[in-house]
Structure 1
């Protein structure tokens, strides 16, 4: 499968030893995942995946590894980045439009609520005025006895 099986077995053994000594499964899991990916690629008739690590550096306490990409991988990466950039811009425009629409709707609903509250206040004032007029009318016609109340 690989060009140098003993080298790969050594890597697997080192990962196993490191996992056992540190009590973490990550090194062994990484090697196992690598073997799984390689096996799947080979069964699909693809070439072996080769990743060349050139150097490591730390930036803001995050270890980043730089490796050489193949030309077709560079094209795919650029295409994905461009698609992501366009999708992000489209999403931002859509969200901005939705926000503006919702703000406009909120403003209209607040205006409508203010109009309705004013109408309620006007109707309550009109009701109170009619009630007062009714009481005056009843009082003036002497239908109201001082000891009786008018049911409303």
Structure 2
């Protein structure tokens, strides 16, 4: 499945390696083959610019990483580490939960105290207003002069 745009882009390259990479990319839906080919060309251009010899396809290979089986003692060590990690994570989550619980309890205490203090402030303001009214009515009747600090 070669399109006209991919052919025109790849005309500069002699052996059509980028075209092949583009076709593989289209088939697989991954940009990796194109990126790898572009990296090859970039490395080759730098080597030539520095006066170094060209690399052949045998020199540049992208080989998937080989995974090796763990020895029994390594497997046991890995499992022990995982178990320690699970325990530590469980302990951490438990500690975080306790901290959150304590913070919520403290928030409730502070909110209830705030409500109580707001109520007390309202009561004291009403009492102040009442006392100021009584003082004013007394001054109107008595006629005495008192300096009042407000």
Q: Structure 2 stretches of 5 or more lacking a match? A: 1-39, 47-62
Residue 95 of structure 2 corresponds to 94
Give unpaired runs (5+ residues) of structure 1: 1-17, 24-54, 57-63
Q: Secondary structure at the match of 2:67?
A: strand
Higher strand share: 1
Instruction: Output the aligned Cα RMSD.
Output: 2.8
Question: Which whole-Å CA distance do the structure 2 matches of 1:143 and 1:104 have between them?
Answer: 54
Task: For 2:70 and 2:139, locate their aligned partners in 1 and report how far apart those are by CA, in whole Å.
Answer: 98
TM (normalized to structure 1)?
0.53
Offset, 1:150: 5.7
Find runs of 4+ consecutive structure 1 residues off by over 4 angstroms. none
TM-score by structure 2 length?
Answer: 0.54
- In the TM superposition, residue 142 of structure 1 has moved relative to its aligned partner by 3.0
In the superposition, relative to structure 1, how do residues 150 and 65 fare at CA in structure 2: closer, same or farther (>3 Å)?
farther
* Match status 1:21 vs 2:43: yes
For residue 133 of structure 2, what is the aligned residue in structure 1? Answer: 132
Which residue of the partner structure matches residue 122 of structure 2? 121
Secondary structure of 1:67 counterpart: coil
1:143 to partner: Cα distance: 3.5
Map 1:100-119 → 2, pairs under 5 A: 100-119=101-120
By how many angstroms is 1:67 displaced? 2.2
Pairing 1:77–2:78 present: yes
